[in-house]
Structure 1
Amino acid sequence: MQSLTDVQNTAFMAIGPSRIAALSLLALSQGQSDSADTEPKAVLDLSVQRLNAAYAMLGSGLDELLEECRYSLPEPLEAKRKACRQVLQPLHKAISKSEQDVLQQLRAIPGLSDLCLFQLEPVISDFLKDMVHNLREAQQLREVQREENMRTTIANAESVGRNIKFISFNASIEAARIGDMGKGFAVIATEIRDLSGKTQTLLEEISSYLKH
C-alpha cells in the first residue's frame, strides 16, 4: 500500500504541470511559441497531455489513491480540489475536441487570457500547497501512531515472554520433584525457558531501536 507521501508526490507531479500547459495553450492560440526551435504540434500535444493528466488526477485519480490509503481530504481542501476542476474545465472541454479544432475551441473560450494568466495559477497553486501540507502532516501522524502501536505490541509480547519463562521455571521445579520420571519434561521446560529469554532479549532490542 502506498503512503500518503507517495500520493502527495504522484498528485503533485500530475497536477502541477497544468499551470505551464495552460500558458503554452494560450500562447499557441495567439499564434505565439515559447521557442523557435520547438514545433507547435509538439507543444500542443504535451500541453494537452498535461492538462488531461491534471484533470483526471483532480477527479477519480486522486480519489482512487486516497481510497487505497484509507484517507479522505478534509472538507475545505476538498472544496479547493473542486475549484481546480472547475477552473480547468473550459480548457479540458476545448482540448477534448478533435486535434484540428483544439486551437479554434481555445480561442472561443471567453476570457481565455484572464483564465490562463490570472485565475488558473493561483487556484491550482493554493490547492497544491495545502494538499502537500495536509498529506505530510497526516503521514507523520500515522507514523507516530504506528510506532506507538508497535511499542504496545512489543510490550505485550515481552509480558507474555516473562510469563512463559516463569511457567517453564515452575515446570522445571515440578519435574525435579518427581525424580527420574520428570527428567525429559525438565529438559523441555529448560529449552522453553531459554527460548523465552532469547525472544525477550530480541524484543527489548527492537524496542530500543524504536526509542531512538
Structure 2
Amino acid sequence: MHSLTDIQSLAFMAIGPARIAALSLLVLANKEDSDDAHTARQLSVDRITAAHEMLGTKLPAMLKACNHTFPSKLEEKRLACFEALTPLVESLRDSSKAQGSAFSDHCLYRLEPLVSSFLIEMTEDLMENHKRLEERRQEDMLKAITNAEVVGKNIQLIAFNASIEAARIGDMGKGFTVIASEIRDLSGKTQMMLDNIADLLRAS
C-alpha cells in the first residue's frame, strides 16, 4: 500500500506532464511526418494516456487503499480534469480531432488551468493529511513507550522485592538474589533506552 506522499508523487508525475504533452500534440499536428515527430508524438500519447488513467482509475484506487477521500471540491476538480483530458485521448485515435482553434483553446484555456489548480490543491491536501497521520502515529508511539516505562518500573520493583525476600531466606536465597539483581539491571537499561526513544520522538 502506498503512503499519501507516495500517492502525491505518483499522481503528480503522471498528471503534470500531460499539459506539455497536449501542447506538443498541437505543434506536431502541423509538422511533417518524420522519425523525430513520430517519437515526440508517441511520447505525448503515452503521457496523456498515463494522466487519463491516473485521474480516472489509479488515483481513486490508491486513495481508497489508504482510506483517504478528497474533499468534495477537490474531487470535483479531479473529475473535471479527467473529463478535460478525454477529448485528447479521443484525438489519439483520430488525429484529425487535434486540428482547429477549438482544440487549441481547449488545451490552453481549459486543460492547463484545471490541471494546474488540481495538482496544487491535491498536493496540499495529501501533505496536510500525511502530517496529521504522522502526528497521530507519534502520539501513539509515545503512549506505547509510556506504557512500557510503567511495566519496566514494575519489573524493577518486583526484582527489588524478590532480592529482599532472597536475603531474608539466607544462604538458600543467594542464587535467586543474583537473578533478581540481573533482572533489575536489565530493567534499568531498558528504561534508559525507552527514555532515549521518547526524548527523540518529542524532539522531532
Q: Distance in 2 between matches of 1:195 and 1:69?
A: 40
Which residue is equivalent to 2:105? 114
Q: Distance in 2 between matches of 1:73 and 1:117?
A: 26
Query: How far did residue 194 of structure 1 move?
Result: 0.8
Alignment partner of 1:204 out of 187, 195, 200: 195
| Residue type at the aligned position of 1:49 | D
In structure 2, stretches of 5+ residues that fail to align are none
Query: How far did residue 32 of structure 1 move?
Result: 4.3
Matches within 5 A, 1:82-93: 82-93=79-90
Change (3 A) 1:141 1:38: farther
Percent of aligned pairs sharing the same letter: 51
Could you list the per-position Cα deviations for residues 165-195 of structure 1 after superposition, in whole angstroms to 9, with x for gaps in the alignment? 0011011111111222222222211111111
Query: How far did residue 89 of structure 1 move?
Result: 0.8
Alignment partner of 1:43 out of 40, 43, 47: 40
Query: Number of residues paired by the alignment?
Result: 202
Could you list the per-position Cα deviations for residues 11-62 of structure 1 after superposition, in whole angstroms to 9, with x for gaps in the alignment? 1011001111111112223x148xxx98221121011000001001112211
Which residue is equivalent to 2:60? 63
Which residue is equivalent to 2:74? 77
Which residue is equivalent to 1:23? 23
Q: Is the 8 A contact 1:28 1:103 kept in 2?
A: no
1:104 lines up with 2:96 in the alignment:
yes
Query: How far did residue 67 of structure 1 move?
Result: 3.2
Which residue is equivalent to 2:146? 155
Q: Is the 8 A contact 2:19 2:112 kept in 1?
A: yes
Query: How far did residue 203 of structure 1 move?
Result: 0.5
Query: How far did residue 75 of structure 1 move?
Result: 1.8
Q: Distance in 2 between matches of 1:38 and 1:143?
A: 49
Q: Distance in 1 between matches of 2:10 and 2:181?
A: 54
Which residue is equivalent to 1:8? 8
Could you list the per-position Cα deviations for residues 118-157 of structure 1 after superposition, in whole angstroms to 9, with x for gaps in the alignment? 1100111110010011111111111111111111111111
| Residue type at the aligned position of 1:27 | V
1:39 aligns to what SS in structure 2? helix
Q: In terms of mean alpha carbon deviation, does 54-63 or 127-136 score higher?
A: 54-63
| Residue type at the aligned position of 2:8 | Q
| TM-score under structure 1 length normalisation | 0.88
Query: How far did residue 205 of structure 1 move?
Result: 0.8
